[in-house]
Structure 1
Amino acid sequence: MKVALIGAGLSGIKAASDLAELGHEVVVFEKSRGLGGRLANRRKPWGSLDIGAQYFTVRDPGFQQQVAIWLKAAAVKIWDFSPYRVEQGQLTPSPDDTVRYIGSPLMNQLVHSLSDNFAVHFRCEISTVEKSRDGWSLLSSDGDIFSGFDWLIVSSPAEQSRALLVSCSDVMADVPESVHQPCWALGLATRGEIAEDVQGIFGDETVRWVSRLSSRPGFIKAPDIDDVWMLHFSPEWSEQQDKKTTMDIGQTGLDWLRKMMGTEIEKVAECRHYWRYANIKPIAFNQPYLVDECQQLAVIGAWCAGGRVEGAWLSAVKWVADFVEL
């Protein structure tokens, strides 16, 4: 079969890889310039930053087997640290037994490790899809037409999937209108002495999570800086500010970090990114994928299964397993 797949995040690429291994012809369409989705990164002179997922955890035995393969291939490493938590405006140790994994050298290595046996069209945003007797046809925002596909799989965020499919299927009918909340992500290169054991912080109503990226195994930073940080602002705060905020996100994050560390920190450089579809709302929807068998259409993604990295992988695996039986 010839399969069109929209979206090159972990869920989409895992599905594409498995289908290709089964002998199907798979073509992936990705609107950005690279693989990864929410495992994306930014490369700066002062360090390469994971701006989306900062680490992942494992619960499912099948996913644990995949992680073991990644560990053996050095595509994944364990980030071993005890987190801190903000309580009443102060940092407090908050140790736990959670095993946290990171992609190596960056989180998108999880996706790159699966992307060798199918074609990917980068910077190709699909604006319209249509089903006819000859199969699925896809029209890009640049006017390119791709046709003759037996199946269409969409692995975009729920809101984007709904907008794309509303005219050709009711597959999204049971999904809430709004599934995601945004996140302002801020990368900071700093100078200043910080205790070595402060590597990850569960934050407050302003900043939800902080990674000291420069403490992660294998991280390479510029020699003239002390640390590289990634701050994820809370979904409520990010939603209130919106993408067009006039607030200085960089200064806000720096001030927050200075306050929590209780010391002066000098900002050398910064990198900002607004994730419109970053966090999953606590909604009453949790199934690994959606399918319209009559139209030969499926919708997959992390948002179908709780929003975690593991959920993205499971969504793809469970869809392919059931696809084989169709």
Structure 2
Amino acid sequence: MKFALIGAGLSGIRAASLLIDLGHEVTVFEKSRGLGGRLANRRTAWGKLDIGAQYFTARDPDFQKQVELWLQASAVQVWDFSPHCVEQGKLIPSPDETVRYTGSPLMNQLVYCSSNGLAVNFQCAVTAVEKLRKGWRLFTSGGEVFSDFDWLIVSSPAEQSRTLLENCSDVMTGVPEAVHQPCWAVGLATRGEIPEGVQGIFGDGTVHWASRLSSRPGFIKAPDIDDVWMLHFSPEWSEQQGKETPVDIGQTGLEWLQKIMDTELDKSTEYRHYWRYANIKPVTFDKSYLLDEYQRLAVIGAWCAGGRVEGAWLSAQRCIEDLIRLR
């Protein structure tokens, strides 16, 4: 059968690779220039930055088996550190027993190692879909039309999936209008002395999480800087500011970091990114994917299954397993 799959994040590529292994024909449509979705990164002169998910955990037994395979293939590595947290403006140790993994060398390696043999149309935004007797037809922002797909699988954020599918299926009926909250992400290259043990920080109402990327295994930074940080501002703060905020996000992040570290830091340079669909609100579904069997349509993604990296993988895995049973 012929499958059209929208979105080349982890859930989309996992679903596509499973279908390819089963002998189906899969065409992936991705609006950006590369794979990864929220596992995206940016290459700068001062380091390669994971700007989305900074690490992932594994709780589900099936996903744990996948992580073991990734470890054997050197696609992931353990980030072994004891986190800190911010309480009443002070930085304190907050050790736990959680095993945290990162992609190797970057988080999007989880996607790339599953993408062999896939036909991906990059910078190809699907703006409309139509269900015909002969199958699904897709229309892109560039004026292209792709037709005759037996199945359509959409792995876009919930809000985008709703807009795309509202005229051809009621599969999104039970999904809240707003599933996501935004996140301002700021990468900072700094000079200044920081205690070696401070590598990951659970923050406060301003910055929700801070990664000391330069402490991660295998990270290569420019020689003229001491550290590279990725700060994820809280959903509430990011939503209040919005994408067009006049606030200097980079300076705000630097001042926050200096305050909790109780030290002066020199900012060498910065990178900023606004994630419109970053954080998942508390949403619970009966299954980790949505299915319209009559229309031959499925909707998958991390947002269907709790929002974590593991959820993205499980959403695709469970969906394809059940599609096989329907045949």
TM-score bracket, shorter-length normalisation: over 0.9
Pairwise CA distance, 1:283: 2.6
Amino acid of the residue matched to residue 32 of structure 1? S
* In structure 1, C-alpha distance between the alignment counterparts of 2:9 and 2:318, rounded to whole Å: 16
Pairwise CA distance, 1:33: 0.3
* In structure 2, C-alpha distance between the alignment counterparts of 1:208 and 1:49, rounded to whole Å: 18
Cα gap change, 1:61/1:284 in structure 2, threshold over 3 Å: closer, same or farther? closer
Contact 1:286–1:306, Cα closer than 8 Å, also in 2: no
Pairwise CA distance, 1:282: 1.4
Pairwise CA distance, 1:46: 0.3
Amino acid of the residue matched to residue 267 of structure 1? K
1:90 — aligned with what? 90
Q: Aligned with 2:186: secondary structure?
A: strand
2:115 — aligned with what? 115
* In structure 2, C-alpha distance between the alignment counterparts of 1:314 and 1:289, rounded to whole Å: 9
1:52 — aligned with what? 52
TM alignment of 1:1-326, pairs within 5 A: 1-285=1-285, 287-326=287-326
* In structure 1, C-alpha distance between the alignment counterparts of 2:67 and 2:281, rounded to whole Å: 27
Per-residue CA deviation, residues 55-111 of structure 1 (Å, 9 max, x unaligned), is: 000001111111011101110000000000000100000000000000000000000
TM-score, normalization by structure 2? 0.99
Contact 1:85–1:203, Cα closer than 8 Å, also in 2: yes
* In structure 2, C-alpha distance between the alignment counterparts of 1:88 and 1:293, rounded to whole Å: 51
* In structure 2, C-alpha distance between the alignment counterparts of 1:117 and 1:16, rounded to whole Å: 10
Amino acid of the residue matched to residue 52 of structure 1? G
Cα gap change, 1:286/1:38 in structure 2, threshold over 3 Å: closer, same or farther? farther
* In structure 2, C-alpha distance between the alignment counterparts of 1:285 and 1:52, rounded to whole Å: 24
TM-score, normalization by structure 1? 0.99
* In structure 2, C-alpha distance between the alignment counterparts of 1:245 and 1:127, rounded to whole Å: 28
* In structure 1, C-alpha distance between the alignment counterparts of 2:144 and 2:282, rounded to whole Å: 38
* In structure 2, C-alpha distance between the alignment counterparts of 1:270 and 1:147, rounded to whole Å: 43
Q: Aligned with 2:268: secondary structure?
A: strand
Aligned residues: 326
Contact 1:286–1:305, Cα closer than 8 Å, also in 2: no
Pairwise CA distance, 1:268: 0.3
Contact 1:185–1:232, Cα closer than 8 Å, also in 2: yes
% identical equivalent positions:
74
Contact 1:25–1:118, Cα closer than 8 Å, also in 2: no
Runs of 5+ unmatched residues, structure 2: none
Runs of 4+ in 1 over 3 A off after TM superposition: none
* In structure 2, C-alpha distance between the alignment counterparts of 1:271 and 1:324, rounded to whole Å: 43
Per-residue CA deviation, residues 270-297 of structure 1 (Å, 9 max, x unaligned), is: 0000000000011343521001111000
Amino acid of the residue matched to residue 285 of structure 2? F
Contact 2:283–2:306, Cα closer than 8 Å, also in 1: no
Q: Aligned with 1:169: secondary structure?
A: coil
* In structure 1, C-alpha distance between the alignment counterparts of 2:84 and 2:175, rounded to whole Å: 36
* In structure 2, C-alpha distance between the alignment counterparts of 1:137 and 1:46, rounded to whole Å: 44
Pairwise CA distance, 1:134: 1.2
Per-residue CA deviation, residues 277-323 of structure 1 (Å, 9 max, x unaligned), is: 00001134352100111100000000000000000000000001001
Runs of 5+ unmatched residues, structure 1: none
Contact 1:57–1:99, Cα closer than 8 Å, also in 2: yes
* In structure 2, C-alpha distance between the alignment counterparts of 1:285 and 1:294, rounded to whole Å: 20
Amino acid of the residue matched to residue 46 of structure 1? W
Amino acid of the residue matched to residue 74 of structure 1? S
Measured on the aligned residues, the alpha-carbon RMSD in Å equals 0.6
* In structure 1, C-alpha distance between the alignment counterparts of 2:285 and 2:138, rounded to whole Å: 28
* In structure 2, C-alpha distance between the alignment counterparts of 1:195 and 1:286, rounded to whole Å: 45
Contact 2:183–2:235, Cα closer than 8 Å, also in 1: yes
* In structure 2, C-alpha distance between the alignment counterparts of 1:293 and 1:10, rounded to whole Å: 23
* In structure 1, C-alpha distance between the alignment counterparts of 2:145 and 2:310, rounded to whole Å: 33
Amino acid of the residue matched to residue 100 of structure 2? R
